[in-house]
Amino acid sequence: MIMFTEVYTYYCEEPDPWSQRDVFLNVIRIHKTKEISSYSDFDQKSIMMYPIYPVFNRQGIDIPLNTELSDVDKSFAMVHYARLEPHPESPEWDISHTLGVLGVDGDLRSQILHCQDPKKIRRLYMQWSSSQMPAPTNPGPSIQVATQSHANRPWYCVFRGARKMPLEG
């Protein structure tokens, strides 16, 4: 269960206070399936993952601030901003490796590997990823929401926007 008071207190306090609306939109709000245009499995190590401190939830879940791109982050960027050749400093990050990290296999993998059009690669991946999206019942750690209006709906751990610094101690 989310401890809403603690979440709002943390994000609305100095030195960089957010409005309650911003906290709701960026941290609390549950995203509707139709709002998600490209999907990957939950990635707890993603740079896009906001930290979840034990004081934010009754289960004591602790997800630290991620400061480096995860392999899924890199793959997601690679498929959306496709390079036909890997960067010289990261030759292992070719499209084949990227598709493996993202779990793309079979005919679609072959089709993407033979594609020379970055826009088409992105479109093919987005169509595939949308079809892989599970029913919106458990999109990450199961943190049950504590308010009546959101009772028994899981907390999406899909976040966007700026990050606050980690809690001290």
- In tens, the pLDDT along 61-94 reads 998 999 999 999 999 999 988 888 899 999 999 9
Q: Are 36 and 132 in contact (CB under 8 A)?
A: no
The pTM is what?
Answer: 0.68
> What does the alpha-carbon distance between residue 48 and residue 159 come to, in Å, rounded to a whole number?
6
Block residue for tokens 């009546």:
148
Block residue for tokens 């509707």:
32
> What does the alpha-carbon distance between residue 97 and residue 104 come to, in Å, rounded to a whole number?
10
pLDDT tens, position by position, 100-139: 999 999 999 999 999 999 999 999 998 888 887 766 554 4
